[in-house]
Structure 1
Amino acid sequence: MIETDFTRRLHPYWPRLQENTRSWLLEKRLMPADKVEEYADGLCYTDLMAGYYLGAPDEVLQAIADYSAWFFVWDDRHDRDIVHRRPAAWRRLTHRLHTALDAPEDHLHHPDPLVAGFADSVGRLYSFLGPSWNARFARHFRAVIEAYDREFDNRTTGTVPTVEEYLELRRLTFAHWIWTDLLEPVAGHELPDFVRKHPAYRRAALLSQEFAAWYNDLCSLPKEIAGDEVHNLGISLIHHEGLTLEEAVGEVRRRVGECVSEFLVAEEEMLRFADRLTDGTVPGRELSAVVKDIAMNMRNWFSTVYWFHHESGRYMVDSWDDRSTPPYVNNEATGDR
């Protein structure tokens, strides 16, 4: 359905994006040089962003791609801090990220590369729109940090969240509203509250992100079972609903399919809402065009997420020497002890 109904496209800046993000990972010491050389391109992090945020100015897409690459590295640090039982190091890191959200310019040279890289990428994202968008982004990312804290506690105690608890948590750990917020600097326009909070806009945004999160769960299930994870829709279904692995996979597939079908309906509602914004004024016509551009990029999220999961080395667990340890991570006991 994705392959036939959702055209795959890439931003024309993508080849330079890939090269520049690879250099940024090295410059910010977010991945060891040998890991960057061997794995960075194959992880397809830039492909994911270049297939989503079409129409973005090059500098905006570059900042988003660097931030996205940082996010994956942060996710890997979270996993390794759990595996190596470093709760104090994780708490220090989360505190520093909260602080860096307030004043990224003060953390550009922090000794922890994850803090410095975060400060650099967020500082660039803050330069595109204005204080109210920046405050919203910071508020949404604080919720992501807190959700990662809850995941840390769940994994260290072996607690599998119920399906409903998991779905609520997943909207935060997948950063649904962060990726949606970033559609605005891509369009060069901060949306007024009445647009962002309109049911037609929010439903289309939520469905696009739910598809991505649940498709990620489907593709990462083997990796996460091998790594003793407790956060996956399939794992919650097995643990709390008594489903077999095969039944859980089938249920996740069903939900993913429903997301696609329901988005097609929500997309039409969002486009009709955009048409109603054209009120005969120049600002109305401009706002309508922006909302239509954003709807197009929400649609792009389906194809870019789909292909990312089929092409990225992040999910090719059968090719790893150790199915519980991704080969692209620094598995040494990095971070404060």
Structure 2
Amino acid sequence: MTRVVAVPPALSLPVIEAAFPRRLHPYWPRLQEKTRSWLLEKRLMPADKVEEHADGLRYTDLMAGYYIGAPDDVLQAIADYSAWFFVWDDRHDRDIVHRRPTAWRRLKLQLHAALDSPRTHLYHVDPLVAGLADSVMRLYSFLSEKWNARFARHFHAVIEAYDREFRNRTSGTVPTVDAYLELRRLTFAHWIWTDLLEPSARHEMPDAVRKHPAYRRAALLSQEFAAWYNDLCSLPKEIAGKEVHNLGISLIHHRGLTPEEAAEEVRRRVEGCISDFLAAEKDALRFADALADGTVQGSELSTAVKRIVANMRNWFSTVYWFHHESGRYMVDSWDDRSTPPYVDNQAAGEK
């Protein structure tokens, strides 16, 4: 799949285009088709919006460019979960825009419950709750109960972070830079996407690997790049919309930067993630080599870590191009810049 898109100069990162070649899982065509069908089956998007927008949003491109080497069923489960995540993010945004705190609180509690007991929520009246239950049950089938508990713990924290963002946005509270960076690691689900590297590599990482500084730093930098590049791309729109959740907006509000200076600082941090990752990648690969201790187990673990580090690298290019190809970010083409054309403005149960 080769596409040529024009990247605005302010968002262009030549090092990504030159040093982080794009890759795509060979299952991608089926992935796109099956995730589109899953969105329809689970009633996560109205049929007309699936028909008109699902492919153009390129959610499956994002995952198929990241989890290279994943078994097809693992990639399908991840892609469906990722599509669900975007729909949830849109519901969260609409609940904020339309001032629906009761609906949001109800959904938050139901998502926590579905995460802990997916089987009992498969037929929940709210398609978003049922969709989470379905995707999580599939993700829970690949590795151990310990991995499942870790994933659940990490996602419970993401749900609570979304609640903090809800309160900040509805009260007009701009978090400090440090508070925002901490919260962003959760709202962007850094450790969720990192956890999913393990079933993709067919290998659960022991704590000694996951918590090793070389592994953890490479993982964090790849995710920070994605979150901050997203902030850079959306900064002008979010300033215009008087948003409060963006690294650039925190820099403007709490550090006294102009919008131009804030954009430059966010870009500097994005570029720093890239250069820091290139160093961290070498450390992580050296760490992987050291795991090959002459045993079969050591050799398999070493190989799995190398696959995971390669996919951390893939995150840079897939995120970069996603921002310039997905209809999710083509605000200038929307009829109403305040309302994405692919969202449903109703809360669950409302008419």
Deviation at 1:122, TM superposition (A): 0.4
Q: What corresponds to 2:245 in structure 1?
A: 231
Q: Residue by residue, what CA displacement relative to the aligned partner does 1:133-160 show, whole Å, maximum 9, x if unpaired?
A: 0000000000000000000000110000
Cα distance in 1 for partners of 2:250, 2:341 equals 27
Structure 1 vs Structure 2 CA RMSD: 1.1
Comparing 321-330 with 192-201, which one deviates more in the overlay?
321-330
Q: What corresponds to 2:279 in structure 1?
A: 265
Residue 198 (structure 2) pairs with residue 194 (structure 1): no
Q: Residue by residue, what CA displacement relative to the aligned partner does 1:184-205 show, whole Å, maximum 9, x if unpaired?
A: 0001111100000000000000
Q: Give 1:67's aligned amino acid.
A: Y
Superposed, 1:1-40 pairs within 5 Å as 1-40=15-54
Cα distance in 1 for partners of 2:207, 2:199 equals 15
Superposed, 1:140-159 pairs within 5 Å as 140-159=154-173
Deviation at 1:332, TM superposition (A): 3.3
Residue 80 (structure 2) pairs with residue 52 (structure 1): no
Deviation at 1:333, TM superposition (A): 4.5
Deviation at 1:321, TM superposition (A): 1.7
1:314 aligned to which of 302, 306, 328: 328
Cα distance in 2 for partners of 1:199, 1:271 equals 12
Cα distance in 1 for partners of 2:36, 2:239 equals 30
SS at match of 1:155: helix
Q: What corresponds to 2:267 in structure 1?
A: 253
Note if contact 2:173-2:244 (Cα within 8 Å) is conserved in structure 1: yes
Note if contact 1:31-1:330 (Cα within 8 Å) is conserved in structure 2: yes
Cα distance in 2 for partners of 1:103, 1:285 equals 36
Q: What corresponds to 1:133 in structure 2?
A: 147
- What is the TM-score normalised by the length of structure 1? 0.98
Change (3 A) 1:93 1:121: same
- What is the TM-score normalised by the length of structure 2? 0.94
SS at match of 1:164: helix
Residue 78 (structure 2) pairs with residue 42 (structure 1): no
Q: Give 1:147's aligned amino acid.
A: A
Residue 187 (structure 2) pairs with residue 173 (structure 1): yes
Residue 110 (structure 2) pairs with residue 96 (structure 1): yes
Total equivalences in the alignment: 337
Deviation at 1:247, TM superposition (A): 1.0
User: Identity over the aligned pairs, expressed in percent?
Assistant: 82
Cα distance in 2 for partners of 1:207, 1:92 equals 34
Cα distance in 2 for partners of 1:257, 1:184 equals 27
Q: Residue by residue, what CA displacement relative to the aligned partner does 1:277-311 show, whole Å, maximum 9, x if unpaired?
A: 01111100110000000000000000000000010
Cα distance in 2 for partners of 1:110, 1:333 equals 15
Q: Give 1:183's aligned amino acid.
A: L
Deviation at 1:240, TM superposition (A): 1.0
Residue 79 (structure 2) pairs with residue 85 (structure 1): no
Cα distance in 1 for partners of 2:253, 2:339 equals 23
Change (3 A) 1:226 1:116: farther
Deviation at 1:243, TM superposition (A): 1.1
Residue 81 (structure 2) pairs with residue 67 (structure 1): yes
SS at match of 2:292: coil
Deviation at 1:227, TM superposition (A): 3.6
Cα distance in 2 for partners of 1:102, 1:336 equals 26
Unaligned runs of 5+ in 2: 1-14
Q: What corresponds to 2:12 in structure 1?
A: none
Deviation at 1:219, TM superposition (A): 1.1
Cα distance in 2 for partners of 1:78, 1:306 equals 24
Cα distance in 2 for partners of 1:120, 1:146 equals 21
Unaligned runs of 5+ in 1: none
Residue 221 (structure 2) pairs with residue 207 (structure 1): yes
Cα distance in 2 for partners of 1:221, 1:44 equals 21
Q: Give 2:247's aligned amino acid.
A: L
